């Protein structure tokens, strides 16, 4: 097996985040359960955008957020995702490349670049309304065989498993990665993703195609149809490395029978929890490709997650590499 030239290659949604403050009264008027994530059509996207307060545009998407965090930590990364040949697509490509992530997937004509309207409550909870747009038309032909084979880890974003074209693209990438002797990681991303695709996700695991699984407690419980603790034990028997975040109770990782738990990093004030899980994965994966211990990988993940929830947006603003060095040495 040849040496990898990339640390992590991720396939995911290319989504522009539009983030604005809100209050419970607005969410109630609009019929939006606080903390929920729902898909919307173009008409609803226009309607909600006109009603919400002043917003800021930040390039997002779960896998891309993870890559941006990894690049900040010094990892070599690349992204495969679909944007349109429009203004938001150009901004998205520029932002990701400026963060240090390789992004060469050709633009698509037709559907607009995807966007997520994120309403942030005073307690930092985010209510997400997503127009998927072009992101859900990623074709299998967009997969570069050599690029996939060059990455130590292939990261798949659970949000993108729903539409047939990207699902076919990810299945092709899995085959390439496995033949090249690379690791495949799956991030389940959200409870509704697991509800919708529990059978597929479980089949990937049962077929031995997933080397690393990232989930939160609720997602793990849904995947296994049981309580969270039993789910972690069950998943750890079938996946070589399982990483589960537990909110205010920290996170746990299990690898080859070794189980490690950590508490979250202290945060002076939670501003916006958007991207917390994405950046936790950044830190953990960075530690993993460096060959660090499970505890160190978890701690780096917690440091990255604590940084991103202390400000608006799902991309790091502080020097994560310096933060990790300060806290871990």
Q: What is the mean pLDDT of residues 12-28?
A: 92
Predicted model pTM: 0.89
The predicted pLDDT at position 24 comes to 93
What is the share, in percent, of the chain residues with pLDDT greater than 90? 71
Contact 272, 311 (CB under 8 A): yes
The answer to whether residue 1 scores a pLDDT higher than 70 is no
Question: Would you place residue 87 in the very low, low, confident or very high pLDDT band (cuts 50, 70, 90)?
Answer: confident
| Dist CA 305 CA 279 (whole Å) | 5
Distance from the Cα of residue 23 to its chain's centroid: 26
Q: What is the mean pLDDT of residues 180-205?
A: 95
3-state secondary structure of 26: helix
Mean pLDDT value across the chain: 93
278 is catalytic: yes
What is the share, in percent, of the chain residues with pLDDT greater than 70? 100
Tokens of 96: 């990701």
Contact 184, 212 (CB under 8 A): yes
Which one from 7, 17, 272, 278 is the annotated catalytic residue? Answer: 278
CA count, 13 A, side-chain hemisphere, 318 = 18
CA count, 13 A, side-chain hemisphere, 86 = 18
Contact 130, 15 (CB under 8 A): yes
Torsion 264-236-189-5 (CA) sign? positive
């Amino acid at each position: 097996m040849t040496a990898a030239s990339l640390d992590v290659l991720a396939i995911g949604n290319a989504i522009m985040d539009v983030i604005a403050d809100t209050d419970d009264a607005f969410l109630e008027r609009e019929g939006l359960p606080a903390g929920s994530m729902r898909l919307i059509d173009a008409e609803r996207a226009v309607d909600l955008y006109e009603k919400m307060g002043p917003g800021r545009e930040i390039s997002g998407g779960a896998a891309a957020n993870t890559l941006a965090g990894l690049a900040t930590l010094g990892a070599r990364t690349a992204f495969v995702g679909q944007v349109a040949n429009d203004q938001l697509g150009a901004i998205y490509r520029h932002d990701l490349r400026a963060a240090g992530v390789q992004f060469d997937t050709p633009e698509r004509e037709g559907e607009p670049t995807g966007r997520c309207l994120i309403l942030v409550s005073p307690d930092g909870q985010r209510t997400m309304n997503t127009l998927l747009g072009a992101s859900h038309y990623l074709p299998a032909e967009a997969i570069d065989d050599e690029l996939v084979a060059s990455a130590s880890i292939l990261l798949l974003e659970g949000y993108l498993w729903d539409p047939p074209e990207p699902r076919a693209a990810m299945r092709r990438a899995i085959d390439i990665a496995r033949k090249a002797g690379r690791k495949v990681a799956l991030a389940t991303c959200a409870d509704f993703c697991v509800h919708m695709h529990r059978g597929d996700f479980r089949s990937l695991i049962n077929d031995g195609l997933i080397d690393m699984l990232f989930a939160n407690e609720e997602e793990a419980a849904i995947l296994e149809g049981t309580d969270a603790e039993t789910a972690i034990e069950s998943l750890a028997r079938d996946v070589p490395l399982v990483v589960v975040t537990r909110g205010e109770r920290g996170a746990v990782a299990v690898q080859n029978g070794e189980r490690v738990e950590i508490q979250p990093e202290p945060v002076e004030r939670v501003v916006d929890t958007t991207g917390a899980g994405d950046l936790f994965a950044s830190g953990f994966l960075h530690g993993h490709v460096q060959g660090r211990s499970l505890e160190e990988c978890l701690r780096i993940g917690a440091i990255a997650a604590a940084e991103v929830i202390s400000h608006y947006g799902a991309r790091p603003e502080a020097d994560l590499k310096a933060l990790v060095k300060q806290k871990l040495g």
